[in-house]
Amino acid sequence: MNIQDELQATIDALVQKGKGILAADESSPTIAKRFQAIGVESTEENRRTYRSLILATPDLGEFISGVILFEETLGQSTDDGVTLPELCVQQDIVPGIKVDKGKLALPNAPGDEISQGLDGLELRLKGYKQQGARFAKWRDVYHINKATPSLLAIQANAEVLARYAAICQAQGIVPIVEPEVLIDGDHSLTRCAEVSEAVFHEVFHALHRHHVVLEHMLLKPNMMVPGKLNPQTASPHEVAVQTVKILRRTVPAAVPSINFLSGGLTPEVATANLNVMNQLDPQPWELSFSYGRALQEPALQAWKGDAVNAQKTQAALYQRARLNGIARYGKYGEDMESNL
């Protein structure tokens, strides 16, 4: 199989009606915060136990087509000795890997950040592929305030995302491109939309410059929402209309799927927003999900580090995956939340 066929096969497996992607790629500091909230110490064994448990959720593959893993998880196994990437495959779920190395302050751009990890990426991807990964994810973030993001940050982050995507495709790995305009701050929905439009435009200009094949990548953007410190909230309809408007202005029809990040939204709000988007006029791309916390939070609350809660943990994850699968068709309703 040549590289283009390999990339297309992975896209076909990831982009399926009624399915989305589970982000289980929390960095060590992030998973430590999640565990601290439920009174669990973030040891390697506890992380392995939890991630093994959620990936083994019966029938998870009904609604989840791919899972983004952290580097540590890629090399871990279940109690029965099955590697976690192989456990995903058994569930008919494509294993993927987060490949950026976290963010740093961007020099000469106060308040802006840029992600690192391009050095040695080609070599790392070869190793990840041998371990079973078929797609990758790289996240760059954009802070909104009166001075940010600067033009420098918008251009520099776009360049990094495009270089990452090009390196991935050369290795037969499908890239998920994640430009996240952060929810932190008191900005309005309109300001979020304005910044997101500039960011997404620049990202696709850079992808074109680097000859990234748009049919063989996925976009993982933020939704258009007000900052979490803004007293004015936005309804799912307002979020959906603004989000689709900005995406139609910036994302070429060649991109097969847009898989939203939840970015600090509650599980219920993330599902409701996605649902309304899929009730609007048909779009040129699939509108799907790649949630981390908005899929896992109920499972973590059910688990609390206790093996006795294994079944409840898996039931909570399955329920959220199912509801988002329903939202992919625009058929979700709030009344479904209580129907475990």
- Find, among 194, 193, 199, 208, the residue nearest to 178 by Cα: 199
Residue 338's pLDDT is what?
Answer: 79
Q: Quick check: is 337 in a domain?
A: no
Residue 303's pLDDT is what?
Answer: 96
Residue 178 annotated to the active site: yes
Domain limits for position 326: 3-330
Half-sphere exposure of 316 (CA within 13 A, CB side): 21
Entry pTM: 0.97
Residue 126 annotated to the active site: no
Is residue 157 within 8 A of residue 140, CB to CB? The reply is yes
Structural domains counted in the chain: 1
| Catalytic residue chosen out of the listed positions 178, 202, 286, 297 | 178
- Find, among 62, 128, 51, the residue nearest to 84 by Cα: 51
Residues of the chain with pLDDT below 70 are 339-340
CATH code assigned at 87: 3.20.20.70
Q: Quick check: is 336 in a domain?
A: no
Residue 339's pLDDT is what?
Answer: 60
Residue 340's pLDDT is what?
Answer: 53
Residue 208's pLDDT is what?
Answer: 98
Q: Quick check: is 108 in a domain?
A: yes
pLDDT digits (tens, 9 = 90+) for 131-186: 999 999 999 999 999 999 999 999 999 999 999 999 999 999 999 999 999 999 99
